[in-house]
Structure 1
Amino acid sequence: MDTGTHVVMGIALGGLATLDPAIGVDNPTAHAVMLGAIFGSQAPDLDTILKLRNNAKYIRNHRGITHSIPAIFIWSFLITGMITIFIPESNLLHLWLWTLLAIVLHVFVDIFNAYGTQALRPFTKKWIALGIINTFDPFIFVAHLVGIAIWLIGGHPGYTFLSVYIILIGYYIIRFSMQRRIIHRLHKLVPQIEQVIISPTMRFRRWHIAIMTDTSFHVARAVDGEIMFLDEFERIPVPQTDVIRAAEQDDNISAFLSFSPVYRWEVDEYTDHYEVRFIDLRYRSKGYYPFVAIVQLDQELNIVSSYTGWIFSEEKLRKKLELIPE
């Protein structure tokens, strides 16, 4: 989820914790647990700092090891330890348990996004992405804001957020059911489907769809229960030519390939250079595929320039990185 949603979820969990008899509503442990829930709800995303270095490091590592099973416990011990320095009279066990729950909840809800997490590391580095909830879901965010508002005007925080989470459990079930219905219809419409990747949007009844068969890629959109096919590409394996092998040594390309499950590729040869491009098919927007990786190589196959990330026009891509003109 996005940072704002994780913040309000931390506050909500701190409010829910008041139902714990060992915590109560207004005492040192309650204050400590609120801090633990807020910091715990943010801790796994500390790897966002990698974006300051470059997109390749961010794409390869975001929601990776910081969302792993060992990291969950490391975060909980670190945060609990820091809070007890300032609030030593708090109940250590209950502070740790609620802080741990905040971190677990962060990782758990991220699994439902299309981006996913490597939540089962160190047992597997597989990305778990259920594609049911958008990174920012207005309903989830507003539900938390309503709960916070009720708390501020005098409602009991524990019962308020218990009610909020019961509603949200129902919401997740509805979203899961919607996704299953779309996948079921796709299997009737497209023969020999190998994989369907659905990416939810901020709009409740709109979904991005990428379909992989043994011979082709299909890009579609589901709107109000109707499926619209937008593009179709022949599925051609990436050839292991000298140009491709040289391009795959670039950090931006390798990061993209480690992350994207469905993409097409292009190789263009110009007078003085080659250009290799990989295009993620999951995020079509206004006829454009904005998530790409591109590398340019000279005639000796030395990497001249490269980029991976979100870009919404060819002009901006070349202007931003000062790539060799076509």
Structure 2
Amino acid sequence: MHLRADRLRSGRPGTDWDAMKNACLTSSQSLPTEDVLVVGGGPAGAACALWCHQLGLRVRLLEAASAIGGLQLLSPYTNRWLPGLPGKTGQQVAASLQSHLDLAEVPYQVDYRVVSIRRQTTCGSWEVSDGVKRFASRYVVLATGSKPRGAGFVNSACVGVGPGLAMERIEVKGKRVAILGGGDNAYDQAAFALQRGAREVHIYCRRPPHALPILQERIPRESVYVGPFVANQQTMTVNAAAYDVIGVQFGFQACLPGALDLPTEHGYLQVDRGGAVAHMPGLFAAGEVTNYWHPCVATSYAQGVQVAKVIQAELTRGPATAFMRSREPMAA
């Protein structure tokens, strides 16, 4: 079913839209041109924008990079965890996302780096700007994702921060490689380095490894050091041992807009079961920027879809009855 946006607006008392319009005009604030602005074009943002569009909402997706896809743009690995997409690499998944938006004629803009997001208090709408061009909407969905934690390390010719292209671009054949971290990505990268011909690979983690057992089985236990360590990018050493390559796999951190004072938990946005940010009417979040359980591409798709449906329900039935959703923060 494809619903027209004007039907959605008329589904609620007409004074809502008229009051917002009049308040914006009398206060010289930006009149909303969209129902929803989605900030971030990874899996969560693309799914949310696609569903909003096909539900009849006026939506625009804003992406800082030059292409849609988020972190999948940096993944040359086959994603074995996506149902129905066997053999597809992360980069192919990203290309498919952009192709789907194009095919469905979902409005989006790349190379749009958001510098401010603010609520227009007089008329109750939201304004998003890159410092040059502004957009206004009734709802904003933050789908800004996450980025690898560097902990002071930066990508270089011999240091890779995070998985994917950051590591794959570094030649490891015949070299000594140190991997910092004890999670899934650390063990994955250690195994990939061995497959690519590394002479030695050692994993350093300060606490007992928490990677999946099936991943830990791929690395000899004698190659894993658990306990305090000091790693130095300048000298390329870990605990005074010299290495040719260092891979930094300390997990990820949320990419949070700096212009908003947002409720966070362990650095991630706190949202309720419908994806709403507490005490900020009209502001939602989806994907790896939030505190939801088990972040991955598949769950990001699902949360993006869920947020689109909640917004559609609010536009047709009002926020008090939309799915009768809980206002408690979602369990991490």
Q: Aligning the two structures, in what range does the TM-score lie when normalised by the shorter sequence?
A: under 0.3
Q: Scaled by the length of structure 1, what TM-score is found?
A: 0.23
Q: Which has the higher helix share?
A: 1
Q: Which has the higher contact order (CA 8 A, sep 6+)?
A: 2
